[in-house]
């Protein structure tokens, strides 16, 4: 079985998901799709020693245009399809949103959306945040065409927001403590 983690950058993966991926890699093939531009040489060695394959994905620009977002989403879809995983873990709010957009276009058994913290994405109420929330909700509506997905939350408040806004429901939401290993 092949399992793919999609994370915005390698440092976040190493600090938040590496232990889980390493445990999984003892029995299954694990692939990491992430930006490696800020990686240290020891990072690659650590992943290689754990048997985790790395597929680089250039991080999108912070002040991205619609064209840049589309480039990023298309590139992500292409890389996921190329590695043909059975399961994909989209880690983080933004990556999960992109994963929701392409979920029905990739051939996986199941996708998991690991919401690691909403922070500023759902709390302030300015125009930019309201727009992001609307796009996020639309992206997650694409999931309704296919039921093979699950949201995984690290804190109750984030899960409550998704439930209250009808982005998820109790049957496809799971609350875990920590990074998901030994919990």
pLDDT 10s digits, 76-87: 999 999 999 999
For residues 4 and 31, the answer to whether their CB atoms sit within 8 Å is yes
CATH of the domain at 73: 3.40.50.2000
Instruction: Please give the Cα distance from 109 to 149 (Å, whole number).
Output: 9
Domains identified in the chain, total number: 1
Average model confidence (pLDDT) for the chain?
87
The per-residue pLDDT for 7 is 96
The per-residue pLDDT for 26 is 95
Mean pLDDT calculated for residue range 151-173:
90
| DSSP per-residue string spanning 151-178 | EEESSHHHHHHHHHTTSS-GGGEEE-ST
Give me the domain span that covers residue 100.
2-175
Closest CA to 34 of 101, 102, 90, 114: 90
For residues 149 and 111, the answer to whether their CB atoms sit within 8 Å is yes
The per-residue pLDDT for 183 is 46
* Residue 106 belongs to a domain: yes
Percent of the chain at pLDDT > 90 equals 55
């Amino acid at each position: 079985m092949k399992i793919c983690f999609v994370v915005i950058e390698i440092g976040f993966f190493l600090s938040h998901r590496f232990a889980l991926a390493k445990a999984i890699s003892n029995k299954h093939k694990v692939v990491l799709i992430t930006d490696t531009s800020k990686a240290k040489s020891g990072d690659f060695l650590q992943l290689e020693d754990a048997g985790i394959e790395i597929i680089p994905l250039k991080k999108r620009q912070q002040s991205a245009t619609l064209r840049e977002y589309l480039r990023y989403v298309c590139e992500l879809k292409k890389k996921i399809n190329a590695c043909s995983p059975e399961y994909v873990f989209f880690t983080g709010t933004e990556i999960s949103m992109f994963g929701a957009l392409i979920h029905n276009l990739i051939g996986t058994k199941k996708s998991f959306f690991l919401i690691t913290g909403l922070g500023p994405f759902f709390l302030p109420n300015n125009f930019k945040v309201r727009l992001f929330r609307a796009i996020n909700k639309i992206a997650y509506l694409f999931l309704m065409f296919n039921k093979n997905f699950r949201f995984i939350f690290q804190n109750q408040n984030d899960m409550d927001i998704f439930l209250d806004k009808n982005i998820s429901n109790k049957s496809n939401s799971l609350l875990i403590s920590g990074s998901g290993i030994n919990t």
